[in-house]
Structure formats: C-alpha cells, structure tokens
Structure 1
Amino acid sequence: MSSSPSADQAVAIDGVEHRYGAVTAVGPVSLHVPAGAFLVLVGASGCGKSTLLRLIAGFERPTTGTVRTGGRIPEPGRGAGLVFQQPRLLPWKTVGGNVELALRYAGVPPKERAARVPQLLERVGLHDVAERRVWQISGGQQQRVAIARALAVPNPLLLLDEPFAALDALTRERLQEDLRQVTAETGRTCVFVTHSVDEAVFLGSRVVVLTSRPGRVALDQDIDLPRTGVEPDELRGLPQYAELRATIGHAVRSSQEVAA
C-alpha cells in the first residue's frame, strides 16, 4: 500500500495533477514506491497510466504536486531504463550492437562492454543471436533486446509502457515469465503499465487501478504471491491468484462505470 515518503522510496508521487490545456489527465494522485517493488498501473485507455509513467521518467513535469525518483526530480534519459510498446531498436545495427550502444552511452569502457553484451543477451535468452540484424529476428525477440538494452544501464528503476501489447499470446506469456524472473534476480524497482488484469497480477508485487480520466487511485492492492520458486502455471493455479484477479478486475470495471 502507499506509504509515507522516506529515504528508501524509489518513486515518490505527492499530490500530482497533470493537465493538457483545460483537460485534467491525472490526479490528484499520491503514490510511494519502495525500492525493489514491482508496481503495475492498470486501467482503461485514457485513464492516465502512460502520463504517470512519463512524469516518473521526467519527460513531462506535473502541473501541480511533485514527482521524485531516488529523492530527486527526474530528468529524461537519466535514472531509469525505459521499455516502450515498440522496441525502438536501430535496424542498421546488430542485436549486440544495440545493447552495446546503450552501454557506450552509459560510459562503460570498451573492454567491459565486450564482456557485458553477451551477459545481458544471455539474461534475456538471446545468447545465440548477437550478430543478427534486428530485422532478422522476431517481434518477441526484438522486445527482449529492448529489455536487455534497458537493463544494460545500471539504473535502479525500470519503466515499462505496455511492452508486450503488440505480441501474440504465447510470446507475451513467455516474456512475462522472463521479465518476472529477471527483475526478481536483479532487484530493480519496476513501474509497469498494462490494460491486462492477468498480466498485472502475474507481474506485480503491487497493483494500482486508476479510474477513467482524470486518473485517480481506485484500488491500491498488494500482491502477496511468491516471486521465486514457483512455476508460472502453478502460480496461476493458486486460489489467491484467482481471488486477486477477481478483486482487481472488479475494481477496473467499477472505476469505468463510475466515470460513465
């Protein structure tokens, strides 16, 4: 649940409203995310999920209130790794070259870059495609490259804006499993945007449901499910999993009905 601000908060959103002209997209919202948490924002289209993510990334400034990451006002391209709906890779570079470029921008020395690229690709299950061009691999593999690139920079915060939305169901489930494992291993704080209730419950250690515009907190739910040592099918078969899906699904539907 949301807690009072403290030094260990990876993300602190306090009294935030954000407007585009006369339209209020978000707010007021206050959320405090401790280090190592996996926060999922879920809600209908237009509820302000992506707006909140842009505020956390520093791409926009709130109209009122404050956003801090690691105790500081966020700046674009600093302090957070970003994964979008589309991979946004450089097609003229190889898979390894795209990851190497992220390391170069982070100031990693050449010898260290050469060692870390295969490690990062191995982490996302792409150890055998480093020399291929981006257009030679599948959409799911491209999204894995985007995740590897985000993990390349040692930022403690990872922001993901519906990264699996355009993928087929089987690829989406596989990447959900990969992301869950990688974030559990690295301990990075994540903020993940989705429309999917099942995806929210599967990935999150905490789920926040936003109302329709203006986006406000309709439900702030801790997900008390094991993060490691449980197979995905076993996890989805737990009674608690079904209960959480029902609770969050009801909150999403109710928030839309109230707005209507």
Structure 2
Amino acid sequence: MPSSKSPGQAVPTGADLARPGSVRLDHVTHRYGRGSEEVTAVGPIDLNVSPGEFLVLVGASGCGKSTLLRLIAGFEQPTHGSVQVSGTEPRPGEAAGVVFQQPRLFPWRTVQGNVDLALRYAGVDRDRRPQRRAELLRRVGLEDAGKRRTWEISGGQQQRVAIARALAAENPLFLLDEPFAALDALTRERLQEDVRRVTAQSGRTTVFVTHSADEAVFLGSRIVVLTKRPGTVALDLPITLPRGDVDAEELRNSGEFAELRARVSHAVKDAAAA
C-alpha cells in the first residue's frame, strides 16, 4: 500500500497539530452502505496539514476526494480512525468555511444580503457587519455588485459571492470542493488567481479538491494525489513555486510549472490505473 508520508515531509509536533488551522487524519477509513452494499470510499489514510498550508487533493472521479473534505468539515464521521481540526473533532458549520461546486446562494437576496446572512450566522455583531461585508466584497472583487440579485450576475461572480460568504466566519480553515468545475476556462483561471491571492492575504489553511493537475500546481503549496477507490495517498508532493505577488501568466508558462504539472498528471493516471 502506498505510504501517506513523503520522504521529505516534516512531521508536525503535537503542538503544531493543536494550532488553529491544523488538520490531522489519523488512520482514517470511511465506508458507505451496509452488508453486500458496503463500499470503502477512502482509507486507511494518515495525513497532517500544517497551519497556513494550501493542500490540494487531486485524483480521478470516485477516489474519495470529496469524502475527505466532508470528513474534515465535520459533515460526516469516519468509520474508523479520527479527524481533528485545530486539535479538536470538527463540528459542522464551525470547523471551516466551505465552498461547493455550486454556489448555493439565496436567489431572493442581494449579493450583500447573502454575505450579511453569513456574517449573522458567524456571530458578527450587527454594528460590525457593514464594514466586514465591504471588506469581503472588496476582497473578491465585487465591491460594486452588492445591491444586485444573485440571478443578475454571472456564474463566476456567484462563486465569488460563495467565497466571500465562506470567509465571513473568521475560522482558520477554508475548504473548497471543485468550485470552478462548471465554469469556462477563462473565468476559471481568473478565479484561481483570486483564490490564490485571497488565501495568501488571509493566511488560512486551505484544502482544495480538483481533478485538474494544472489547477493543483497553480494553487497548491502541497499536492496529495489519491489512488482509485478506496482512496489512499499515492503521492505527497510539496510545491516550491513562488506564492507571493507573482505574474500568473509568467508562472503558468515557466518550465518548473510544466514539469510539476506533468509529474502530477502522470501520478494521477498511474494511481487511477493501479
């Protein structure tokens, strides 16, 4: 069975694993169904994510990427093993801000109304909400769209609202489940750049699910490739590309980017065929 630890990966200490934004999966297995219908979706997996890291989970359809994300979010409980976020068992709605494949906005509310609702559920004082809302909309480039209905804006803008809403709760973990899968290539690239910038500014730990080797290399500070079901770790790869204020086009066209993309792509294909 492939190892879940890469040779050069530093092993976090106990103190690291209790810090805000840390994630620990300890010998996690998750199954669906019962009896003859039982299916093992993932595991066993041991995986540690350090605070501030941008981890991308990549692999073929059905390998358990989204299952792992739901376990980290606290939406599901592992069949065996344990999941900890910031040193404790994750609780749904509290462990992380989550962005799904579809924006899941409230169409009867305006853009700012959707963000205001998220701020209310996050426990932000009423007096602070207008300033916090303005900060979030500015961060995702929607400062001029606050009064528009969600059905009046594009799909890419709707995902920006979903990102702003997920950032409303000031928790240290940000989870994204293939949020750009339904978008056109140009919009997807622009939103990738936005997520890269927003997560760098916020310093939040981020776990991002994708099928795309290109997207994984552009976004991640670390990439984990999963085998086919049941998903285990086939490759755990640190990404050394610059993460500051860089030219996105120049980065995508660099030789190092191409080499990393090819390595991840080959690993995904090999893992799916194994």
Q: TM-score, normalised by structure 1?
A: 0.97
Shift of 1:4: 4.3
Q: Is structure 2 residue 24 aligned with structure 1 residue 8? A: no
Q: CA RMSD in A?
A: 1.0
Counterparts of 1:42 and 1:2 in 2: how far apart (Å)?
Answer: 21
SS of equivalent to 1:127: coil
Shift of 1:227: 0.4
Report the AA paired with residue 14 of structure 1: D
Gaps of 5+ in 1: none
**Correspondence for 2:41:** 25
Aligned with 1:211 (options 224, 227, 231): 227
Counterparts of 2:268 and 2:131 in 1: how far apart (Å)?
Answer: 45
Q: Is structure 2 residue 175 aligned with structure 1 residue 159? A: yes
Report the AA paired with residue 11 of structure 1: V
Residue range with higher mean Cα deviation, 50-59 or 227-236: 227-236
Q: Is structure 2 residue 261 aligned with structure 1 residue 242? A: no
| Alignment of structure 1 residues 50-199 onto 2, 5 Å | 50-199=66-215
Report the AA paired with residue 67 of structure 2: T
Given that 2:12 and 2:50 are in contact with CA atoms closer than 8 Å, whether structure 1 keeps it comes out as no
Given that 1:12 and 1:69 are in contact with CA atoms closer than 8 Å, whether structure 2 keeps it comes out as yes
SS of equivalent to 1:7: helix
> Relative to 1, partners in 2 of residues 1:11 and 1:2: Cα closer, same or farther, differing over 3 Å?
farther
Counterparts of 2:16 and 2:136 in 1: how far apart (Å)?
Answer: 27
Q: Is structure 2 residue 49 aligned with structure 1 residue 49? A: no
Q: Is structure 2 residue 244 aligned with structure 1 residue 233? A: no
> Relative to 1, partners in 2 of residues 1:5 and 1:45: Cα closer, same or farther, differing over 3 Å?
farther
SS of equivalent to 1:192: strand
Shift of 1:106: 1.2
Shift of 1:8: 2.2
Given that 2:26 and 2:82 are in contact with CA atoms closer than 8 Å, whether structure 1 keeps it comes out as yes
For residues 98-118 of structure 1, give each alpha carbon's deviation from its aligned partner in whole angstroms, at most 9, with x where no partner exists: 001111111111110011111
Report the AA paired with residue 86 of structure 1: Q
Given that 1:2 and 1:32 are in contact with CA atoms closer than 8 Å, whether structure 2 keeps it comes out as no
Counterparts of 1:37 and 1:179 in 2: how far apart (Å)?
Answer: 13
Shift of 1:51: 0.3
Counterparts of 1:62 and 1:211 in 2: how far apart (Å)?
Answer: 18
Counterparts of 2:155 and 2:130 in 1: how far apart (Å)?
Answer: 25
Q: Percent identity?
A: 67
Counterparts of 1:3 and 1:54 in 2: how far apart (Å)?
Answer: 24
Shift of 1:2: 6.5
For residues 192-250 of structure 1, give each alpha carbon's deviation from its aligned partner in whole angstroms, at most 9, with x where no partner exists: 00000000000000000000000000000000010012100111122211111111111
Counterparts of 1:204 and 1:6 in 2: how far apart (Å)?
Answer: 24
Aligned length: 258
Counterparts of 2:210 and 2:109 in 1: how far apart (Å)?
Answer: 29
